Amino acid sequence: MILLDGKKTSADIKEEIALEVRDLKNKGADTPHLAAIIVGDDGASITYVNAKVKACELVGFESTLIRLPKDTTEEDLLNEIAILNIDKDIDGFIVQLPLPKHIDEQKILMAIDPDKDVDGFHPTNVGKMALNLPTFISATPFGILELLERYKVETSGKHVVVLGRSHIVGSPMSILLSQKRKVGNATVTMCHSRTKNLKEITLQADIIIAAIGIPEFLKADMVKDHVTVIDVGITRLEDASKKSGFRLVGDVAFDEVAKKSDFITPVPGGVGPMTIAMLLKNTLLACQRKS
Ligand code: GUN
């Protein structure tokens, strides 16, 4: 069993990006600049956004964090986006999700200039991704492709089973892996809450991508020997024995499934750390595209 180490791989990618930033600076070119908007005071969201800003500093990017109160109106948020859209200093920006209930998420995502949409959530960029045209691939699917590539996990001709049909993971993952691309050319089955005979399907999988948000859902009796497992789930479970008061659990019963796996991602330390590295990669791309 080989652990797909997202912590180490993301550190490698950040080092590569830092070298590219140094080159840009030496050439007198612009330094990549990422902005993030966060609305409200959700603890997990603040942690994620702070980690994104910290990662910018680490690789030598500039960053701007815009914190707005939880009662910010949709109109005010749209105004902030309009300002970032025309700000020449900003290469890319994100609006951290989820947003408070009174704000229409889709409307907000559609207001972002697709050329600055480093999350890859704008319909224009989702459409380009689906057509296999150059675009920003959103961070989680992009990170999974990168992990599979760097660990040389063969996907061509393999049967990939994707669990979950979310817009940010399951759906793009199933599209990308079926495409004619370096990490792709797979036969993909997408499963979701209405799927019947799920176990029958997962038992046929060479590669399983679990992205449903149900802790330890995938058990050893649902996978065949030599499977590759990518666990996207990350649920906080209360745990009084931890200083933080919680522990992080994936969608996979790791200990038992790992025994049957050739490759598997841990939680935490698998897909999670990759997402920030890929956001940085998209920001670098946005900056390079501009020049
Ligand atoms: N919330 C959880 N994941 C993400 C992400 O990748 N981007 C944004 N903007 N919000 C998120």
Measured from the Cα of 275, ligand 1's closest atom is: 6
**What's the predicted TM-score (pTM) here?**
0.97
Measured from the Cα of 168, ligand 1's closest atom is: 6
52 as an active site residue: the answer is yes
Task: Please give the backbone phi and psi of residue 170, each rounded to the nearest 5 degrees, phi first.
Answer: -55, -50
Average pLDDT over residues 23-49: 95
CA of 276 to the centre of ligand 1 (A): 10
Give Cα separations from 185 to 169, 172, 174, 191, 271 (angstroms).
18, 14, 11, 19, 21
Q: Of the listed 96, 117, 206, 281, which one is catalytic?
A: 96
Q: Of the listed 5, 91, 117, 119, which one is catalytic?
A: 119
Q: Does domain 28-113 have CATH number 2.30.30.100?
A: no
For residue 252, what is the DSSP state?
B
Average pLDDT over residues 259-265: 98
Average pLDDT over residues 70-77: 98
**What local confidence, expressed as pLDDT, does residue 136 receive?**
98
Measured from the Cα of 119, ligand 1's closest atom is: 7
Report pLDDT digits (tens) over 82-120: 999 999 999 999 999 999 999 999 999 999 999 999 999
User: Where are the domain boundaries for CATH 3.40.50.720 in the chain?
Assistant: 139-272
**What local confidence, expressed as pLDDT, does residue 290 receive?**
81
Task: Please give the backbone phi and psi of residue 78, each rounded to the nearest 5 degrees, phi first.
Answer: -60, -35
Ligand 1 atom 9: the closest Cα is on which residue? 96
Rounded CA-CA distance 274/23 in Å is: 23
**CATH for 139-272, among 3.30.70.260, 3.60.15.10, 3.40.630.40, 3.40.50.720?**
3.40.50.720
CA of 98 to the centre of ligand 1 (A): 8
CA of 259 to the centre of ligand 1 (A): 32
DSSP string, 104-169: -HHHHHHHS-GGGBTT--SHHHHHHHHTT-S----HHHHHHHHHHHHTT---TT-EEEEE---TTT
Report pLDDT digits (tens) over 183-218: 999 999 999 999 999 999 999 999 999 999 999 999
